[in-house]
Structure 1
């Protein structure tokens, strides 16, 4: 091949894949960040193995990172990839099904040994024929060998040298898509500046070696350019859902004037929120890594009683353990935000895979009549907004709030326009500083039905909190039947009243039509892409996507009434559909469900919607 031609394309999907120790997450992140700095819209999907130490070279140990970048905002990380970088046969086999018909496959030729092929489950010594890849553009450079050759003068041991092969693959992709190397090299310099500058130099040389290999060998018929996206003016950065959640909580702390306390137990995939908050002592944040999930939420409840904006973070199994203490927060009517980053279940389930199967637990998973506000974020960047909202509602309405995210948006990233805090409202909790005439009544309520928040240590504001039922005004223990009935209804009415303090429900598309697609939480990107594809074909399809779950926003009934059919799409077996059947019983609900630990694909959604339209 004598000449490489340059083509302009609108969007590209690349999947980096290899053993969990091959550095695919870093490789994908550096490529994504470089594309974001060039102004491209990006959406990423890190895909981690579920086993901590899966046998090397096996499909169970394959780690992947998919990035979708283009000349417009990317709503999802893409269904199928234009380029697959596979560092071993297992990565190739695991990702064969995600190749587009015209895809380029870059496979490390050094990994094609009998042992690697056997571990990956190949029956022959020809994986390309076995996987029917004859029609694809398959490039098999000896990445490991060339990495060793490029770094031989540095005097590093073989293990350290081989670890740099992911940067060789990154260099190939930088050439293929006309990406500059500067950002990646600066990152490597800062990462290893104190530990070992020689390792930084080795990785930088590996990037150059990969780039030069692709440029000089003419293995690729084309290189590609992707124009910057036309995004709203502002300052942008790439952000993951977990980091955005942490920052949204920080913003709520700032706007309330109260210090942030986070008591949590590390759990995949929520741990990064705790880690991110632990970095911000400069902002007055207090974090406690508790010995277990129960201790995490109990320290947060105590901190709330003491006058902090209190948060605890977890995933599905941890939410189960927190349920009793969450009931305590409901009974004491203290503000608390519980962030649940959902993952595949039940039990330990699929720790690194995504799902939306904690909804019923969030809504009902406590003893007694125990209502809490439930919100759900729908993209990595809007985790910031809904974390802020969770804090605002919790503090102003004196109630626990569960914020649902999921592994897909928590680990994924996209460009985020950094907001001005002047655009966010002040949070005004009902703090009581002085006893009113006649004495302090801890369960006297304001127009939001929120009780007063009196911090300990203030004369005249002494009061009891605890798990036993309280008198409707005094807060003293009460076993009176009529009082209990009143308090049950009041706590429910307080949560229902939050509907007056949130935006009305909106719809993407016309307010009447043949099919209304309904979703919630982290499925928005795929659902919106599928709906917009059908709308472009003239189909009468609209999307109604929910972020406020309990209570439901105003206007839902009117929206639903405008469509002939309603299909509820979610990554579980129908939990939101069943919730809607209870809330809005006059409508019939179709369902499209998936429980594979993977997000929807736009292709499967379009096929389902088309079948319903027939």
Structure 2
């Protein structure tokens, strides 16, 4: 059956590999040529107990044969790895949607933990959906018997079984995922082959079981994309590449002074890999030291950057005011998250606009640049650098947790398309007085 768009949500415990599963499905969808938008959603780093509602992790993917701009609101397909994942997400699935459930996890104790008095698979509460009960854990363990793994090791591959099943349902390519698994577990070849076997078993299950009588096809979005070379990219990665490109176009070394904070830490991690492009990264002891070091680098002639989130902006405000007074170019990259202070580090909210505009002492105006999509983070970084260098001012770059972790296709630009950001510095006096003396 041909469709023009589909929204899929993978949901389970934090340790069930939902982010990896969604990322692999996304990569294969991108290589197939669909337009796509993703929404990873995971609990805080301090994990809730397994099997509870606060501990549910999910990954949503919207892909289509035309241009799309959001990861969607209501998933057409929900893959629920346990009762908590079902209860936390079933309210978003429209009536008639498909629900794939790992029946092996629906034990009485697991259901009671999330408030189910009876099994939702048997009490009629899911009658409005097309439910596919699949014993994912049992089928995965059975498929991996020949590898001699412990039950716990074999169970970890159930996400690959689910990925194989969904790949069959939506005609996704398989070669890339198998190659990825062999690379990821290159030092443990038996585990690599076990995951490949689980992936293939899920594909074969979809093809042979009578419960999945229909597969779906979403054609490539050839009309949505201008001609060029594309890759799938997340917002934080695009922003990192944009900062490197800006430094190269400005013919300046790039300096990042940063203190790790969710969801901005990925930029520090990525830039630390690119010393060959004249990038220097400094992981400071706190937020204030991070921006202080960056401001010193700006004074010394570098394209200076500091990365943070809302709580860090509050700590950096005094130094940002100093940068305004000194008229130094400084990029303050704020990957916004939900709530004040240390709250909700993994949740998305555009919470810092007023703080970015007015959160300093006295009159200290600062330009604010905000990307609109994950791929647009690349262009936003170039624009923020252009403004900072041309007008000798700190600039806020406001991304957020959704843009940072979400992904979409990105056309890799030619170097000739990038703006020239070089600034001609004065090497002599500004002007002469009427008597001929230098001012």
Task: Please give the alpha-carbon distance, in whole angstroms, between the structure 2 residues aligned to 1:30 and 1:433.
Answer: 53
Alignment counterpart, residue 91 of structure 2, candidates 97, 103, 111: 97
The C-alpha deviation readout for 1:517-538, integer Å capped at 9, x for no partner, is xxxxxxxxxxxxxxxxxxxxxx
Q: For residue 220 of structure 2, what is the aligned residue in structure 1?
A: 228
Matched residue count: 432
What is the CA–CA distance in structure 2 between the aligned matches of 1:200 and 1:398, rounded to whole Å? 52
* Aligned alpha-carbon RMSD (Å): 1.5
Q: How far, CA to CA, are the matches of 2:138 and 2:432 in structure 1?
A: 83
Equivalent positions of 1:64-79 (< 5 A) are 64-79=58-73
1:273 and 2:267 are equivalent in the alignment:
yes
Q: Is the 8 A contact 1:51 1:60 kept in 2?
A: no
Would you say 1:402 and 2:393 are equivalent positions? no
- Deviations along 1:159-186, whole A, 9 cap, x unmatched? 2211111000001101111112111111
Q: 1:172 aligns with which of 165, 169, 175?
A: 165
Structure 2 matches for 1:12-161, cutoff 5 A? 12-50=6-44, 52-124=46-118, 126-128=119-121, 132-161=125-154
Q: For 1:432-458, what per-residue CA distance to the aligned partner results, in whole angstroms no more than 9, with x for missing partners?
A: 34556779xxxxxxxxxxxxxxxxxxx
2: distance between equivalents of 1:166 and 1:242?
A: 25
Residues 265, 290 of structure 1: 8 Å contact kept? yes
Query: Which secondary structure does the structure 2 equivalent of 1:416 belong to?
Result: strand
What secondary structure is seen at the aligned counterpart in 1 of 2:301?
A: coil
> How far, CA to CA, are the matches of 1:198 and 1:315 in structure 2?
41
The reply on whether 1:314 has 2:308 as its aligned counterpart is: yes
CA distance in 1, matches of 2:124, 2:380: 44
Return the alpha-carbon distance in structure 1 between the equivalents of residues 90 and 314 of structure 2: 37
Q: Which structure 1 residue ranges, 5 or more long, are not aligned?
A: 1-6, 440-473, 475-614
Do the aligned partners of 1:396 and 1:430 also contact (CA within 8 Å) in 2? no
Residues 551-566 of structure 1: pairs in structure 2 closer than 5 A: none
CA offset digits 1:73-94 (Å, max 9, x no partner): 2211111111100100000000
Aligned runs of 1:293-312 on 2, under 5 Å?
A: 293-312=287-306
The alpha-carbon deviation at position 43 of structure 1 amounts to 0.4
Question: C-alpha separation between the residues in 2 aligned to 1:131 and 1:309?
Answer: 61
TM-score for the superposition, normalised by structure 2: 0.96
Q: What is the DSSP-based 3-state SS (H/G/I as helix, E as strand, rest coil) of the residue aligned with 2:339?
A: coil
Q: Is the 8 A contact 1:22 1:163 kept in 2?
A: yes
Tell me the TM-score normalised to structure 1 length.
0.69
Distance 1:435 1:155, change over 3 A: farther
Partners of 2:189 and 2:359 lie apart in 1 by: 51
- For 1:81 and 1:259, the matched residues in 2 are separated by 45
SS of aligned partner of 2:68? coil
Does the aligned pair in 2 maintain the 1:46–1:412 contact within 8 Å?
yes
Q: Aligned with 1:100: secondary structure?
A: coil
Asked whether the equivalents of residues 96 and 131 of structure 1 are also in contact (C-alpha less than 8 Å), the reply is no
Match of 2:339 among 342, 345, 368: 345
8 Å contact kept, 1:151–1:202: yes
Mapping for residues 398-437 of structure 1, pairs under 5 Å = 398-434=392-428
The counterpart of 1:385, out of the listed 379, 383, 397, is 379
Larger radius of gyration: 1
Q: Secondary structure at 2:419's aligned position in 1?
A: coil
Residues 437 and 93 of structure 1: CA distance in aligned 2, closer, same or farther (over 3 Å): same
CA distance in structure 2 between the partners assigned to 1:425 and 1:382 by the alignment: 15
Kindly report which structure 2 residues correspond to 1:484-503, keeping only aligned pairs within 5 A, or say none: none
Map of 2:436 onto structure 1 = none
Are residue 262 (structure 1) and residue 265 (structure 2) matched? no
How many angstroms apart in 2 are the aligned matches of 1:19 and 1:156? 22
Unaligned runs of 5+ in 2: 434-438
| Structure 1: 4+ residue segments shifted above 3 A | 128-131, 432-439
2:202 aligns to what? 210
CA shift at 1:260, angstroms? 0.5
Instruction: String of CA shifts for 1:293-331, please: whole Å, max 9, x gaps.
Output: 111111100111111100011111111111111111111
The alpha-carbon deviation at position 156 of structure 1 amounts to: 2.1
Partner of 1:188: 181
Q: C-alpha deviations, 1:18-67, integer Å up to 9, x for none? A: 00111100100100110110100000000111352210000100000000
Distance 2:246 2:67 in 1: 27
Counterpart for residue 591 of structure 1:
none
Residue 95 of structure 2 aligns to a residue whose secondary structure is strand
Distance 1:200 1:332 in 2: 55
CA distance in 2, matches of 1:425, 1:307: 20
The equivalent of 2:235 in structure 1 is: 241
Does the aligned pair in 2 maintain the 1:397–1:429 contact within 8 Å?
no
